[in-house]
Amino acid sequence: MYNTTINLKTDQQTKKQAQKIAEEMGFSLSSIINAYLKQFVRNKKIEIRLYDISALKEKSWETDRKNAQKTKGYKSADKLLDDLL
């Protein structure tokens, strides 16, 4: 599906934290970055929202994943965004 590589420089701590959060949400870091890029292209603006990870956990990400029969599952953030937009 993808045939282009982007080399991105960031500090090691940010990368590790981002990978951990993405994994907790059931996504790869690559799919998260691709979703942000697609959103940037669609909207032609930079949107950054800050969330507290504890608040995300309270929104029952784990519960939603455990109850997959009740919710629609996505294998990538790209597919989620395609359905939303």
- pLDDT tens-digit series, residues 4-54: 999 999 999 999 999 999 998 888 999 899 988 998 898 888 776 655 555
Query: Is residue 63 domain-resident?
Result: yes
Query: Is residue 4 domain-resident?
Result: no
Q: Is the dihedral of CA 53, 48, 79, 77 positive or negative?
A: negative
Query: Is residue 2 domain-resident?
Result: no
Tell me the residue range of the domain where 16 lies: 12-84
Please write the tens of the pLDDT for every residue from 49-73: 655 555 555 555 556 556 555 556 6
DSSP state of 66: H
How many domains does the chain divide into?
A: 1
Measured in residues, the chain has a length of 85
